[in-house]
């Protein structure tokens, strides 16, 4: 059943139904969660690089951050694989705002 709702110009626009497929709900949710985690990973990586370049981190801190980011990268790869996702699947298109993640900065396997 499709109903109409008024547009700003007075014409009717068909309403879109949300189709929930039990087979894809888990994958779609995983995609959304992994996208947020990837965004945070990239932000943490950039901040760590900036702090390392300015000398704010000791060698021990740099080592720990590097190992942590490598472990996170590995777990992200495992989870993407589990849900059949590619790195580019995590870059959600925000329409007129463009992609969520910077292009060319997403993980590659």
pTM for the structure as a whole: 0.67
Exposed (0-12), middle (13-18) or buried (19+): which is 42, by Cβ within 10 Å?
middle
Domain ranges of the chain: 24-83
Residue 58 has pLDDT above 70, yes or no: yes
What are 66-86's pLDDT values in tens digits? 999 999 999 999 999 999 999
Mean pLDDT, residues 44-49 taken together: 93
Considering Cα of 77, then 80, then 83, then 88, what sign does the dihedral take?
negative
- From CA 35, how far away is CA 30, in angstroms rounded? 8
* 5 band by pLDDT with thresholds 50, 70 and 90: low
Contact 69, 48 (CB under 8 A): yes
């Amino acid at each position: 059943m499709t109903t109409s709702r008024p547009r700003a110009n007075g014409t009717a626009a068909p309403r879109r139904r949300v189709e929930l497929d039990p087979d894809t709900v888990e994958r779609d949710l995983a995609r959304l969660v992994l996208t947020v985690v990837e965004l945070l990973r990239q932000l943490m990586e950039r901040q760590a690089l900036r702090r390392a370049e300015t000398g704010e981190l000791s060698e021990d801190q740099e080592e720990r951050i590097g190992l942590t980011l490598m472990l996170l990268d590995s777990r992200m790869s495992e989870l993407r694989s589990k849900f059949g996702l590619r790195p580019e699947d995590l870059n959600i298109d925000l329409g007129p705002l463009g992609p969520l993640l910077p292009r060319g900065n997403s993980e590659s396997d």
